[in-house]
Amino acid sequence: MKTFESCSKAFHAAEAAIVAHRCSELGIEVQGKTMLKKLSMFLDLDNWPESPDLRGLTKEDEQDLRVWGADYSTRLQDFHRKAEELRTERHNALCSALRSLGKEIGCEFLELCGPLDQRFADALCKADRLRKTMLDGIGYVDLIDPETNFAKGFYGATALKKTELFHNLKLCAEYRNNGTRHSDEVMAKLGFAEEVCNEDR
């Protein structure tokens, strides 16, 4: 799998391509709707010949409008098709970047030491920051839904299961907030081995 950095660059390249497409001559026309009335007249030639907009149109004007309309309609279809392709590329790049970020954060998470809840918070805080500053400006990653792209990367890298992870985080909260003492084995698994040793003195 590609790195998060390379996927992020691909996402921004796709974003730039969308902006360039939107700012093209035809893109500006579409946004400004400058040719909308003329296009409507072209469509009315066959769909509504009695349209008030077509009154006074000479045969030569009609022929010119048909030639222009056929060409413009084709260009318009190509423009919208290209726009959809670019949006798909951006979406795919975003998904790949989030999966890569999840994998990289998951690998780092496995290397961290200390209580599980603190390691989890540190990992997610870093992931949020990286997504916000390097990707799409959204400072949030999702591990609640295991089917999201970040979650797939994270759970795939750590081999953790969502239900077990959140159950253990709940145990951490019970210990920190209520002083609930779990077995030494559980406390050690949660990363509170030092606390267990201190309390056993």
* E strands, 46-201, in order: none
Locate the domains of the chain by residue range: 4-134, 161-200
C-alpha span between 132 and 53 (Å, rounded): 50
pTM for the model: 0.88
Q: How far is the C-alpha of 43 from the C-alpha of 38, rounded, in Å?
A: 9
Report pLDDT digits (tens) over 72-122: 999 999 999 999 999 999 999 999 999 999 999 999 999 999 999 999 999
pLDDT (tens digit per residue) in 111-128:
999 999 999 999 999 999
The answer to whether 196 and 188 have CB atoms below 8 angstroms apart is yes
Residue 170 to residue 47: CA distance in whole angstroms: 66
